[in-house]
Amino acid sequence: MKPQAILAVEMERMRRMLVNASSARSDATKAIISTALNDPMFPLTFLIRNVMILEAEVNWQRMFLHERRSALLSMLRERCCIFCEIKEWLSLQAKPPRPDADLFASMQKPQENSVYCTHCGGCCEIASGLADFPEKTQFPPIWQKLFGTGLGVNHRFCAFLWELNGKGLSVCSIHEWRPLPCRLFAEEECQNLMEDQDFSALIDQSRVVDACRKLCALLDGR
């Protein structure tokens, strides 16, 4: 079986385990998590890569297993909440309202930088950024602040990064309203990122599979 197919199987197993692990939460939170995790644009691959980044950090290494599990579920809840909030806000921007398939179809098209952009998501794997948005942007002010401060403890990628149909490809959910630093990230910066050994390891599918299996074991209490 090819690595991509193996990863798809492992991710589906992890998705089910995350839903089950969240069953002890309130009905409202449980519904949000289930809705987000079953959405093909929820950034599950990037959540796995998030933990891969954390594993190299001292604070994460010092945690007991139950603390890591608790931290993972907190990250999941926070990520699911912002995902659902953004999706609802985006649906309201469509005049008249359109089905999800139409509303998000444009996200699946290559952006203007597609000559060199492979949608690896590396440029979006930041905890926070300079909240410098274009003038007269209609992007909610509270989310502009969120871009600047980050989603919270242990989050290592942008709150507005989504995934293209579970394929591990990045999608900017606010591309039309994205801040100026994101607009300035160009081919040279991308090339430098591609040459970074740590990032190459992060996108190695075999390593992502291993990370996914470790997270499943963590959720299973092993």
Phi-psi region of 16 (alpha: psi -120 to 50; beta: other; left: phi over 0): alpha
Range of the domain at 112: 3-219
pLDDT tens, position by position, 118-173 = 889 999 998 898 899 988 778 888 999 999 999 999 999 999 999 987 788 999 99
pLDDT tens, position by position, 6-23 = 888 999 999 999 998 887
Could you give the number of structural domains in the chain? 1
What is the rounded CA–CA span in Å between residue 74 and residue 30? 12
Asked whether 73 and 79 are in contact (CB, 8 A), the reply is no
Question: How buried is 39 (Cβ within 10 angstroms: 0-12 exposed, 13-18 middle, 19+ buried)?
Answer: buried
| Total-model pTM | 0.90
